[in-house]
Amino acid sequence: MPDTEVRTAIDALRADFRARLAAATTDRDLDALDAAFLSRKNGSVTALLKQVGTVPPDERREFGRLVNAFKTEIESAIEEKRGAVAATRRPAGAIDPTLGSRPIPIGRIHPLMRVRQEVEDIFARMGYEILEGPEVEDDYHNFEALNMPPDHPARDMQDTLYLGVPIAGGTWGAHRGRVPEAQVRAATLLRTHTSAMQIRYMKTFPPPIRLIVPGRVYRRDQLDLSHTPMFQQFEGLVVGRGITLADLKGTFEAMLRDLFGDVRVRLRPSFFPYTEPSAEVDISCQSCGGSGCGTCKHTGWLEILGSGMVHPAVFEAVGYDPDEVTGFAFGMGMERVAMLKYGVDDIRLFYENDLRFLEQFPL
Amino acid sequence: MRILLSWLRELVDIPDSAEDVARTMSTRGFAVEGIETVGTGDAVIDFEVTANRPDCLSVGGMAREVATAYGVKLRTRGPGASPSGSRGGPKGPAPRSSALQITIENPDLCPRYVGAVADVELRPSPTWMQTRLEAAGIRPISNIVDVTNYVLLELGQPMHAFDHARLAGPEIRVRTARPGETLRTLDGQLRTLSPEMLVIADAERATAVAGVMGGGNSEVSAATKTIVLESAYFNPLSVRRTSKKLGLKTEASVRFERGADPATAVNAMRRALALIEMIGAGRARGGVIDRYPARIKPGVLRLRREKIAGLLGTAIPDRDVRRMLERLGFTLAPAPGGWRVAVPTRRVDVRREVDVIEEVARHYGFDRLPTTFPALTTAPPPVDPRIQRARDLRSALTAAGFFEAVTFGFIAERAAAPFAGEGDLVPIANPLSELFAVLRPSLLPGLMDAVAHNRRREQRDVRLFELGARFMRSTGERQAVGCVWTGAGAPEHWSGSGRPVDFFDIQAVAERVCQALGVEVHTTPADERWLMPGRAAAVFANGTRVGVVGQLAESIADDHGLPGNDPVYAAEIDLDALPPAAARRAVRVEPLPRFPSVVRDISILVDEALPATDVRATIRDAAPPTLVRVSEFDRYQGKGIPPDKVSLSLRLTFRSSDRTLTDAEVQDAMTRVIAALKEKNGAVQR
Ligand SMILES: [Zn+2]
């Protein structure tokens, strides 16, 4: 074997060695590598040395120097790698951080209450007072004072659940330091809307008013995809000198954009006995961007709340002078908002309290 | 109200498609429930007419709105107009006199009654008439019945035809029902009438319930040769009460109870007679008899410019106001600051100035109104502590692993009964079903159902809470928070740290609820029908009972479909019974301790039945004020402990705020504590 051939053979072995060294990550890999090249029996460097007989005598000395230098190179490279492998070895008592952590249980706020808190916050920023009222009411506050005297056809619009026995309704506004419009009348029905609080509030406090009343309301509706016999509403009431329908428009645009993002808002004339003029408020459909789809019944708009200018008869019932003050009122269903905001198509999901549903909402 | 587009087009000249008309009218207050194409190039638009607009329950009424919306003229048509526009009308010799007598005994309930007699021959009505009725959803019956329905659709005036031969003479009496009087109505039902109900009678008996439904005894049939036609105006409230009481709602009753137009009654009669002649169904005999004893005058309202702008937030030009209102049929006369507006009698919804302003706003277009913001003129309002309380509880309980639930305010009586005393439940008078029969006396039954729902869906570990009202006769409506917990107390983990929930977990939840509201509470053993005996406790704050915690009784769990082998723990706190949270906001910081504390442990044997709270009380009473804390750290029963006894280990911490305590004084305190435990609680030191 001439000198040039020896160098070629060593270069080939070196390339192989370097590749295998780079791939080695454990002591066992390195032991195997050591054996493959340096073992007395079948190491490839040992095998090369054994070929000394084929080398011309005057080149044998040089041959020995080259092969031995290569052998030393391998030994020190393996040694160096052993140090590197040792440095990465886990210390005694090391934990396995890839195991599962110990859970810290955490619950969620109900989606309807998320919506409620969000809406409360929007109106609180606009300077509204937020109050809760009784859920059981009397006919006067729920209907009569809201321009729905007995036998008024509009009472049919809200199928009422009546109590078998009259009871005392819940208290409200105790923190306001005066006796709020007293619970003189026993409650005889489940309130069909939070509007009853309009009357209680106006009878207790003078204008100006900015008020939000969130709470549960009840109607005699069968359970289906879009109805539940109990649901959650926000009542809003703004009263003062010079409050206009344009103010109502501006307020809803601000509130609905805060709640739904970049939507268009429109008002449509409608009818409620306690407001005049009355308006349904729609937002542009976010599913189709207003071009029409199944969600919006191909109109491009989604009804979101009912509203209007407070009817003078309501002002008269609470002792306000309709020539002095005007105002607007509205009612918005929390379920409706939550369904649109979160893409829920069955209202019953809000009342089943299925953890697989509830845990989809963020902390 | 289903409106046929081609019929509408006869009355108003509109170029738009059904879709465009629907869109335009929905911005004028008539939401559209659907559009159906019929035949070629025709459509039925289903308008939602709000309860205040009975005048729009007809093609003519809607046409007036459409004409105003589009700014076009409403075509006026004579009584004899045919659908194609050609004029029919009475021909031939003058008819015989009808000799019909009309007597109104109750003008307050029937201010106007228009009657006429016609000789007829019953046959099917012509196809064009049938097509129009069917488009509106009305089944054609015979030429005479169809004519009354056609007029109803066209003008909104309900009409009725009696068989003249079946009446006791040519006489109509409008009177209230006699006591016990009965009538078989056209739907075949025998109705017992009450004396406040208005009826149409002949000389002897009732033949129709006024404004609601006719009677079988005077029904027109194939044999009918002469009819008496009725076109009346009945008192809305009277019709509404009668309809409600009889449980009978008809096309006629709906219109009368919302308010028909007394002015239309005669026109409708003329139109009906003309149609009868035009389609060859017969001829009027004699003229139209109009009895109008209680004349209804059009209302006159003032309309002030300043009020229009004040309510809408923008001034609307005078000529726009005038144009829109006049198109709708209002008559305007100038008056100081605005106008005097005469309201047509059909507009029962317009009773005040604001109602007129609404008409202006509606047709001016809500979309053209500016958007402004109400001026803020008062200081920020106070925060309702209830709102804040709900938020504090949500934070505390979700942090404790609880999911918020919302359940219904009414539940089944069986589920409610264990939670209220005898007769304390509040029943619902007209419940939807047995499942919603009573107001909930507790939030827990609803929460248990929610737990059961989750258990049936492979959720073993369930923690739920709800905030809301509960109701009892004795206490009325009160706010509460309820919590239920089943499955793991500590969640399963590979380290083995998981364990099932137990009493002390739910007790901690009750305490956390009160702590979140700044209230210190303690628990004592209690009995509750719905909790397992020996696993129930009452929660007290300042000596007042504010709630209950414990393990659900098996029978209750069973009733809610919960598996008996996994205990369910529950807690309920009466939020209205807790002291106001105001104190929680007034925080005063104590200086930090400057001297070290000394800790001493003791182990004692006491009776198993002795409450731990007694042991702690003995220690507190016996120890000097330097005892700052005492807590149990071990409790043991079993090997080496006599039966009925328990080994209790307690840790006592002493500290003074002004010096380092000496061993001697702590030892002295411990000696006194041990002596007291021996004396008062029969404790033996181990
Ligand atoms: Zn859409």
Contact A312 B497 (CB under 8 A): no
Residue-wise pLDDT tens digits, B370-426: 999 998 788 888 888 899 999 999 999 999 999 999 999 999 999 999 999 999 999
Nearest chain B Cα distance for residue A43, angstroms: 47
Instruction: Quickly list H helices, B537-611.
Output: 554-559, 582-585
Q: How many other CB atoms sit within 10 Å of the CB of residue B568?
A: 27
Contact A354 B51 (CB under 8 A): no
Contact A153 B311 (CB under 8 A): no
Residue-wise pLDDT tens digits, A282-313: 999 988 888 888 888 888 999 999 999 999 99
Whether the CB-CB separation of B530 and B552 falls below 8 Å is answered with yes
Residue-wise pLDDT tens digits, A250-272: 999 999 999 999 999 999 999 99
Chain B residues in contact with A267 by the CB 8 A cut-off are 366-367, 369
Return the pLDDT at B583: 58
Residue-wise pLDDT tens digits, B273-290: 999 999 999 999 988 999
User: Which amino acid is it at B614?
Assistant: D
Q: What is the pTM of this model?
A: 0.88
In which band, very low, low, confident or very high, does the pLDDT at A181 lie, cut at 50, 70 and 90?
Answer: low
Sign of CA dihedral B386, B388, B389, B395: positive
Query: How far is B565 from B527, CA to CA, in rounded Å?
Result: 22
Residue-wise pLDDT tens digits, B38-91: 887 899 999 999 999 999 999 999 999 999 999 999 887 777 777 654 444 444
Q: Could you tell me how many CB contacts below 8 A there are between chain A and chain B?
A: 270
Whether the CB-CB separation of A279 and A267 falls below 8 Å is answered with yes
Return the pLDDT at B585: 67
In which band, very low, low, confident or very high, does the pLDDT at B622 lie, cut at 50, 70 and 90?
Answer: very high
User: Where do we find the tokens 């002897």?
Assistant: B204
Of B404, B410, B462, the CB nearest to A109: B404
Q: CATH 3.30.56.10 spans which residues of chain B?
A: 2-70, 300-368
∠A342-A345-A351 over CA atoms, to 5°?
Answer: 85
pLDDT > 90 fraction of chain B, expressed in percent and rounded: 87
Nearest chain A Cα distance for residue B680, angstroms: 43
Return the pLDDT at B71: 92
* Domain B2-70, CATH number (from 3.10.310.30, 3.30.56.10, 3.30.2010.10, 3.40.50.1000): 3.30.56.10
- The contacts of residue A116 (CB under 8 Å, 6+ apart) are A214, A232, A234, A334
Q: CATH 3.30.70.380 spans which residues of chain B?
A: 598-685
Residue of A nearest to B239 (CA): A151
CA of A303 to the centre of ligand 1 (A): 12
Residue-wise pLDDT tens digits, B624-671: 999 999 999 999 998 989 989 999 999 999 999 999 999 999 999 999
User: Where do we find the tokens 């008592």?
Assistant: A93
Judge whether residue B130 has pLDDT over 90: yes
Superfamily per CATH, domain B598-685: Ferrodoxin-fold anticodon-binding domain (3.30.70.380)
Return the pLDDT at B85: 44
Judge whether residue B36 has pLDDT over 50: yes
The mean-pLDDT minimum among A181-190, B237-246, B443-452 falls in A181-190
Residue of A nearest to B384 (CA): A131
Q: CATH 3.30.930.10 spans which residues of chain B?
A: 385-577
Return the pLDDT at B15: 82
Query: How far is B295 from B111, CA to CA, in rounded Å?
Result: 7
Return the pLDDT at B90: 47
Order the strands of the B598-607 sheet from edge to edge.
B627-636, B645-654, B598-607, B684-685
Q: Which of residues 371-430 of B touch A (CB under 8 A)?
A: 371-378, 380-387, 391, 394, 397-410, 426-430
Beta bridge mates, B174: B104, B200
Whether the CB-CB separation of A217 and A195 falls below 8 Å is answered with no
**Mean pLDDT across B252-262:** 95
Nearest to A56 by CA among A123, A130, A5, A10: A5
Return the pLDDT at B76: 78
pLDDT > 70 fraction of chain B, expressed in percent and rounded: 97
Return the pLDDT at B88: 45
Nearest chain B Cα distance for residue A86, angstroms: 29
Residue A43 zone, left/alpha/beta (φ > 0; ψ -120 to 50; rest): beta
DSSP-assigned letter for residue B194: -
CA of A302 to the centre of ligand 1 (A): 8
Buried b (16+ CB within 10 A) or exposed e, B486-515: bbbbeeeeeeeeeeebebebbbebbbbbbe
CATH code of the domain occupying B300-368:
3.30.56.10
Residue-averaged pLDDT of chain B: 93
Whether the CB-CB separation of B65 and B25 falls below 8 Å is answered with yes
Domain spanning B385-577: which CATH class is it, in words? alpha beta
Best mutation target, A230, A268, A325, A351, to test chain B (most B CBs within 10 A) = A268
Q: Which residue has the higher pLDDT, B443 or A1?
A: B443
Q: Where are the domains of chain A?
A: 3-88, 111-358
Return the pLDDT at B479: 96
CATH architecture entry for B101-291? 3-Layer(bba) Sandwich (3.50)
- Report ipTM (2 d.p.): 0.90
- The contacts of residue A345 (CB under 8 Å, 6+ apart) are A225, A339
Nearest chain B Cα distance for residue A25, angstroms: 30
Contact B469 A216 (CB under 8 A): yes
Per-residue tokens: B553:
């009784």
CATH architecture entry for A111-358? 2-Layer Sandwich (3.30)
Nearest to B427 by CA among B134, B418, B417: B417
Radius of gyration of chain A (CA): 41
Residue-wise pLDDT tens digits, B294-318: 999 999 999 999 999 999 999 999 9
Order the strands of the B159-163 sheet from edge to edge.
B159-163, B226-233, B112-120, B282-291
Residue-averaged pLDDT of chain A: 91
In which band, very low, low, confident or very high, does the pLDDT at A180 lie, cut at 50, 70 and 90?
Answer: low
Per-residue tokens: B427:
């029943």
User: Which amino acid is it at B430?
Assistant: N
- The contacts of residue B438 (CB under 8 Å, 6+ apart) are B410, B411, B412, B413, B416, B425, B426, B427, B428
Residue-wise pLDDT tens digits, B496-540: 889 999 999 999 999 999 999 989 899 999 999 999 999 999 999
Decide if B240 touches A, using CB distance below 8 A: yes
Decide if B520 touches A, using CB distance below 8 A: no
Q: How many other CB atoms sit within 10 Å of the CB of residue B135?
A: 21
Residue-wise pLDDT tens digits, B95-104: 566 788 999 9
Per DSSP (E only), the strands in A229-340 are: 230-240, 265-272, 275-284, 301-310, 326-333
Return the pLDDT at A153: 73
Judge whether residue A179 has pLDDT over 80: no
Chain B residues in contact with A105 by the CB 8 A cut-off are 400-401, 463, 491
In which band, very low, low, confident or very high, does the pLDDT at B6 lie, cut at 50, 70 and 90?
Answer: very high
Contact A312 B352 (CB under 8 A): yes
**Using N-to-C axis directions, what is the helix angle for B318-327 and B59-70, rounded to 10°?**
160
